[in-house]
Amino acid sequence: MLTNLIIQGDHVPTQTLKQIAKLCAVDAIEAINQQAFRLVNADNSNQAAIAELCAAAKLDFGFIPFHRHLNDFKLVVMDMDSTLITIECIDEIADMIGIKPEVAAITESAMRGEIVFAESLTRRVALLAGLDASALERVYEERLRLTPGAETMLTTLQQRGIKTLLVSGGFTFFTERLQSRLNLDYSASNTLEIIDGKLTGRVLGNILDAQGKADWLNKVREELGLAQKQVIAIGDGANDLLMMAQAGVSVAYHAKPVVRQQASYALNYNDLSAVLPLLGKL
């Protein structure tokens, strides 16, 4: 199969680009923008050497089908915490009562795949019992920030008519606000139980876990009448792997090693707008 090689970075050294081009015996080097380059008709047999060169220069790379176009895709499915936004919401909620280190340790373990997600969420939420619900608003207003490049990525996808699904093991308090703010088509997550203005330490209903994320991707895909190859999934933790496996293209964004190993592409250095060149010509 003919492939193009996408090279991306804050600064792409000309010498490194030429070395990679030689390794791949490319027909041409095309600038996509100041941070991204397309190496046309690239031989993908020297990936280990390319990976070494890119890592040394802090560049991301990905081989993509020669004829792929952004318009080939119709749905993008995104994780929220540490993917669409820069924080882990539950860790920041915990910080309001001085237990962030304890909760963050459980979060990290779950992200690495060491603890089943549902168990980890139950344990973490239980530690929040008694917290005033106003803390959620404080986290949203004071600490939640969109990941750099998120709005550029979403605007471009939405302009092409690509539907958007935000699916998270986090909480509806945040996903619903982001859905409205970013004009996303769908969102799904967990609901914290609040009684008399305080968190009870429980989640309402069934926990949306890794399988739940995959189920939501397939539910929306089927509703839209799409094939798997028309779906993009973006995530960073072990809880995203089942979802990413259901997509035609999966992107590990500043992800844990287990996720980088299983994704179609890994973005370790660039912002979220770097997803776009990996999807093909605009």
Confidence of residue 2 (pLDDT cuts 50, 70, 90): confident
Confidence of residue 70 (pLDDT cuts 50, 70, 90): very high
Is-catalytic flag, 240? no
Tell me the CA distances in angstroms from 259 to 122, 143, 167, 221, 266, one per residue in order: 23, 26, 17, 22, 8
Q: What is the pLDDT of residues 5-61, one digit of tens each?
A: 999 999 999 999 999 999 999 999 999 999 999 999 999 999 999 999 999 999 999
Task: Please tell me the distance from the alpha carbon of residue 272 to that of residue 267, in angstroms, as a whole number.
Answer: 8
Catalytic residue among 27, 72, 79, 271: 79
113 has pLDDT over 80? yes
Tell me the CA distances in angstroms from 187 to 138, 143, 148, 151, 163, one per residue in order: 21, 21, 20, 17, 11
Task: Please tell me the distance from the alpha carbon of residue 282 to that of residue 278, in angstroms, as a whole number.
Answer: 10
Structural element, H or E, at residue 215:
helix 210-223
Average pLDDT (226-246) is: 97
The whole-number pLDDT of residue 164 equals 98
Q: What is the pLDDT of residues 116-137, one digit of tens each?
A: 899 999 999 999 999 999 999 9
Contact 183, 166 (CB under 8 A): no
Q: What angle do CA 255, 259, 263 make, to 5 degrees?
A: 110
Q: What is the pLDDT of residues 154-163, one digit of tens each?
A: 999 999 999 9
Q: What is the pLDDT of residues 190-222, one digit of tens each?
A: 999 999 999 999 999 999 999 999 999 999 999
1 has pLDDT over 80? no
Task: Report the percent of the chain where pLDDT is more than 90.
Answer: 94
Is-catalytic flag, 209? no
The whole-number pLDDT of residue 112 equals 87
Please write down the long-range contacts of 176-183, taking CB distance under 8 Å and 24 or more positions apart: 177/140, 178/80, 178/84, 178/85, 182/150, 182/151, 182/154, 183/158
pTM summary value: 0.96
Task: Report the percent of the chain where pLDDT is more than 70.
Answer: 100
* Residues facing 191 on adjacent strands: 204
Catalytic residue among 60, 81, 91, 240: 81
**Residue type at position 135:** A
Task: Please tell me the distance from the alpha carbon of residue 199 to that of residue 236, in angstroms, as a whole number.
Answer: 27
* Residues facing 192 on adjacent strands: 203
Task: Please tell me the distance from the alpha carbon of residue 220 to that of residue 162, in angstroms, as a whole number.
Answer: 12
Edge to edge, the sheet with strand 28-31 lists: 28-31, 36-40, 3-8, 60-65
Structural element, H or E, at residue 221:
helix 210-223
Tokens 């839209």 label which residue? 224
